[in-house]
Amino acid sequence: MQIKPVGPGAADILKLDGKLTIERTQELKNILLDALNEKDDVIIDLKSAMEVDASFLQLLCAAHKSALRMHKRLILDSGKSSALKTAVHQAGYIRTLCCTGDPNQDCLWKGDRKQ
């Protein structure tokens, strides 16, 4: 797991890999909160995620809501992570509408399609 700063004031790219499961929830929560406290935009690179469970999806939703309250942006770059796509579909997270309170209409799960 690594954080790559893009530049002063710019977004951070937060690369999360391996198992993103309940056993790591507290660690992942701290990493996400630290990144949001540091930057206005945080890009989460999940291309190397090997295993994803519902607790991680819930954590991402909570982080997204925190970002909205802080007037910041949380952006997912899931690339070709089949583990993330499978977890999103199995948990029923696919949405056609965004959550209430999302002025930018940039829900993490809106329009996601299994490929």
Q: 11 lies in which domain range?
A: 2-90
The answer to whether position 102 is within a domain reads: no
Q: Is residue 111 domain-resident?
A: no
Q: Is it the case that residue 5 has pLDDT exceeding 70?
A: no
Name the nearest CA neighbour of 56 among 91, 82, 81, 80. 91
Q: Is residue 85 included in any domain, yes or no?
A: yes
Domain-embedded: residue 72: yes
For range 72-90, the mean pLDDT: 87
**Which segments of 17-79 are extended strands (E)?**
18-20, 41-45, 49-52, 73-77
pLDDT at 7: 53
Distance between CA atoms of residues 98 and 48, nearest Å = 26
In a domain, 34, yes or no: yes
**CATH, residue 48:** 3.30.750.24
Count of residues for the chain?
A: 115
Residue 63 within a domain? yes
Number of domains in the chain: 1
Who wins on pLDDT, 102 or 82? 82
| Range list of β-strands (E), 1-115 | 2-5, 12-15, 18-20, 41-45, 49-52, 73-77
> What φ, ψ does residue 75 adopt, rounded to 5°?
-125, 130
Does residue 104 belong to any structural domain of this protein? no
pLDDT above 80: residue 51: yes
- Measured in whole angstroms, the distance separating CA 102 from the mean position of its chain's CA atoms is 15
**How far, in Å, CA of 83 to CA of 35, rounded?**
23
Residue 42 in any domain: the answer is yes
Span 47-72, average pLDDT: 93
Better pLDDT: 107 or 95: 107
Give per-residue pLDDT as tens, 38-48: 889 999 999 88
